[in-house]
Amino acid sequence: KQEVTQIPAALSVPEGENLVLNCSFTDSAIYNLQWFRQDPGKGLTSLLLIQSSQREQTSGRLNASLDKSSGRSTLYIAASQPGDSATYLCAVKSSGDKLTFGTGTRLAVRP
Amino acid sequence: EADIYQTPRYLVIGTGKKITLECSQTMGHDKMYWYQQDPGMELHLIHYSYGVNSTEKGDLSSESTVSRIRTEHFPLTLESARPSHTSQYLCASTGQGSLPLHFGNGTRLTVT
């Protein structure tokens, strides 16, 4: 059974800092990995999707990498802003066409 | 931004009431999902559908039921709500292949 872990559970940084969020998964037989952002009381917004054949994806200040063999992905946020404060979740798509979510990293960016 | 809509946004009801949470998407997606999420906790899949007249139970046992009569519509029904059903319910959809999953804004349900 696929299990997804995100470390750290919570993170507080000053504005402008570069930061890395980590996601690890137990079964490397995945189709893709997706990073989401969730604001309090809201749904999830898709940030980046990495196919199993890819190593990384970039969108603006966000860069996600994937090392399938070691079961790890990182989300790099450059020059963090207070508006980046949210919970970030990763999810892996394995066999059966279903996603397994991590519990998320709660990020607070201090002005 | 993805076009997937959930109503109501918030709902407070008494025990024993029947409720239906609505979810609609305008992207023509075949695959639709319902997740349940308690505050600060992970998402749990409770129902999914791969097309019209196709519905399956997810990983988390739920007393709710779903229907998929039209591609764009995937309502979730609780026949008799209980306080243990208090949670946030999130609807999502995606197309065929390895495409991103799009979420609605959720329905926060409170059963008193």
Q: What is the DSSP letter of B77?
A: E
Q: What is the DSSP letter of B73?
A: B
- The token pair that represents B94 in the structure block: 């995606």
Secondary structure E strands in chain A? 4-7, 10-14, 19-25, 32-38, 44-51, 56-59, 62-67, 72-77, 86-93, 99-101, 105-110
Say how far apart CA B32 and CA B101 lie, in whole Å.
9
Using the beta-carbon criterion (under 8 Å), do A89 and B102 form an inter-chain contact?
A: no
Using the beta-carbon criterion (under 8 Å), do B106 and A103 form an inter-chain contact?
A: no
Say how far apart CA A34 and CA A48 lie, in whole Å.
6
Closest residue of A to B96, CA-based? A97
pLDDT tens for A9-64 read 999 999 999 999 999 999 999 999 999 999 988 889 999 999 999 999 999 999 99
3-state DSSP call for residue A28?
coil
pLDDT tens for B66-110 read 999 999 999 999 999 999 999 999 999 998 877 889 999 999 999
Q: Report yes or no: A31 at the B interface, CB cutoff 8 Å.
A: yes
For residue B102, give the H/E element and its range.
Answer: strand B102-103
pLDDT on residue B1: 52
Which pLDDT band, with edges at 50, 70 and 90, does B42 fall under? confident
pLDDT tens for A59-93 read 999 999 999 999 999 999 999 999 999 999 999 99
Looking at CA atoms only, how far is residue A56 from chain B in angstroms?
A: 15
Using the beta-carbon criterion (under 8 Å), do A43 and B59 form an inter-chain contact?
A: no
Q: What angle do CA B95, B97, B99 make, to 5 degrees?
A: 60
Chain A residues in contact with B38 by the CB 8 A cut-off are none
Residue B25: Cβ within 10 Å count: 22
Q: To probe the interface with B, which of A3, A66, A99, A107 has the most B CB atoms within 10 Å?
A: A99
Using the beta-carbon criterion (under 8 Å), do B105 and A103 form an inter-chain contact?
A: no
Q: Is the pLDDT of residue B48 over 70?
A: yes
Q: What is the DSSP letter of A9?
A: S
Q: Is the pLDDT of residue A106 over 60?
A: yes
Enumerate residues 6+ apart whose C-beta is below 8 A from B40. Answer: none
Q: Report yes or no: A97 at the B interface, CB cutoff 8 Å.
A: yes
Comparing CA positions, the residue from A38, A33, A47, A50 lying closest to residue A100 is A33
pLDDT on residue A99: 87
Q: Is the pLDDT of residue A98 over 80?
A: no
pLDDT on residue A94: 87
Using the beta-carbon criterion (under 8 Å), do B105 and A34 form an inter-chain contact?
A: no
Phi and psi for A82 in degrees, rounded to 5?
Answer: -55, -30
Comparing CA positions, the residue from A84, A88, A89, A90 lying closest to residue A108 is A84
